[in-house]
Structure 1
Amino acid sequence: MSTGNFDLNELKRRMQGATQALKHELGGLRTGRASASMVEPVQVEAYGSHMPLNQLATVSVPEPRLLSVQVWDRSMVKAVEKAIVDSNLGLSPATEGQVIRLRIPELNQERRKELVKVAHKYAEQARVAVRHVRRDGLDTLKKLEKNHEMSEDDQERLAGDVQKATDSVISEIDQLLAAKEKEILTV
């Protein structure tokens, strides 16, 4: 019997999507070090619409605790500065011509613990997403086996493969979380 229309690679791709989303969310979490991804969510009121900061400026990290935002259009400097202040990132911009410098303040221990909790929440959301993908895959396998489009042995073998893929991705999520937690708690 064939394995029906079951695609393990598609499930793995969907699971990796959860990991990618987690990486993106963790990248936005502020640690004690500067990262260009910290200002990714900043939306600037420019040219009559809201635009992401990275479409109006180049963000670089010249020092570990400093972000440099090079605004391309001189007329947009004030708008970018206002957007950064309004973004609740806790950063205060210092403008020098078309360059906005953002000093990253030290995090106190209480704030670090809060950030770790947020990171754990993000990781749990990613785990749940992976488990949903696993459940979808297992449901598909059961349906195929029930409709006699797949043998019971194939169904069990593929269910094992789905579980291995799930375990692998959840392990990766745990590693990402551990690394981010270490980064946040490092003083």
Structure 2
Amino acid sequence: MEPQEVLEELEMSMEQAVEYMGSEFASVRTGKASPALVDGVVVEVKAYGSKMKLRELAVITTPEPRQILIQPYDASTINDIDRAIREAQLGFNPVNEGKTLRLPIPELTEERRQQMVKRVRTISEDTKVRIRGCRKEGMDSGKKMKNDNVLTEDSLRDFEASVQELTDKFVKQIDEETAAKEKEVMTV
């Protein structure tokens, strides 16, 4: 494999890790309603005999800034959805209105905000671990290419510098996005 191909693959892997972090950040509560807060909740639907994500079972909207409205496609699944949301321990207390569920979003306490910031930092650190794993794969690929005489000693150093440059770029991006999310969570 050519060094440029390896670098492109590394960059793609690192981008995917950062994108995944962004989707995880979307599920962290900030005090305002967002369908992303509940769309990943896994619901065990007894009528279907399977587990499905909430977004596959219902339309999730935010009619007001502090409320989420869930309208199941099949009204018989409403109790299963209600139970799944309560068991997910997201801090919501669903109001069952027969054909819909309303989730009032309670104001976050300072303690709950601190817990959310810890979760954001954990997600961020997990993403950095993935980035470092990609970096290690890149460095190992460079050494393998040198052993296979694709790279010289000097070009190996240049290749490793490029891998480190990519790593630094994505770690910086992670730090910036983490700081922005922490600020968003702590804003009252």
Which category describes the TM-score, using the shorter chain as reference length?
over 0.9
Q: Give the superposition deviation at 1:136.
A: 1.2
CA RMSD of aligned residues (A): 1.7
Q: Counterparts in 2 of 1:48-63, with a 5 A limit?
A: 48-63=49-64
Between 1 and 2, higher relative CO (CA 8 Å, sep ≥ 6) is seen in 1
Q: CA deviation at 1:97?
A: 3.3
Q: Which residue of 2 aligns with 1:22?
A: 21
Counterpart contact for 1:68–1:100, Cα < 8 Å: yes
Q: Give the secondary-structure state (helix, strand or coil) at the position aligned to 2:96.
A: strand
CA shift in 2, pair 1:146/1:186, >3 Å: same
Aligned-residue offset at 1:4: 5.8
Q: Aligned-pair distance for 1:146?
A: 3.0
CA drift at 1:115:
1.2
Q: Cα offset for 1:152? A: 2.1
- Please list, as runs of the form range in 1=range in 2, the aligned pairs for 1:23-172 lying within 5 A after superposition: 23-46=22-45, 47-172=48-173
> Which amino acid is the alignment partner of residue 134 of structure 1?
R
Task: Give me the whole-angstrom Cα distance separating, in 1, the residues matched to 2:4 and 2:113.
Answer: 47
1:6 shift after superposition? 5.1
1:118-137, Cα deviation, whole Å (9 max, x unpaired)? 21111111111101111110
Residues 42-76 of structure 1, C-alpha deviation per residue, up to 9 Å, x if partnerless? 12222111111111101111222111111111111
Q: Shift of the alpha carbon at 1:82?
A: 1.6
Unaligned 5+ runs, structure 1: none
Which amino acid in structure 1 is aligned with residue 18 of structure 2? T
Alignment partner of 1:7: what SS?
helix
2-structure distance, mates of 1:82, 1:114: 24
Q: How big is the shift at 1:8?
A: 0.8
- The code of the aligned residue for 1:182 comes to K
1:66-103, Cα deviation, whole Å (9 max, x unpaired) = 11111111111122112111211111111223221101
8 A Cα contact 2:3 2:159, kept in partner: no
Cα gap change, 1:54 to 1:3, in 2 (>3 Å): closer
Q: Under a length normalisation based on structure 1, what TM-score does the superposition of the two structures give?
A: 0.92
3-state secondary structure, aligned to 1:34 = coil
TM-score, length basis structure 2: 0.92
| CA positional deviation for 1:174 | 0.9
Partners of 2:4 and 2:66 in 1: how far apart?
A: 51
Aligned residues: 186
Please tell me the residue identity of whatever aligns with 1:24: S
- Give the aligned residue type for 1:12: E
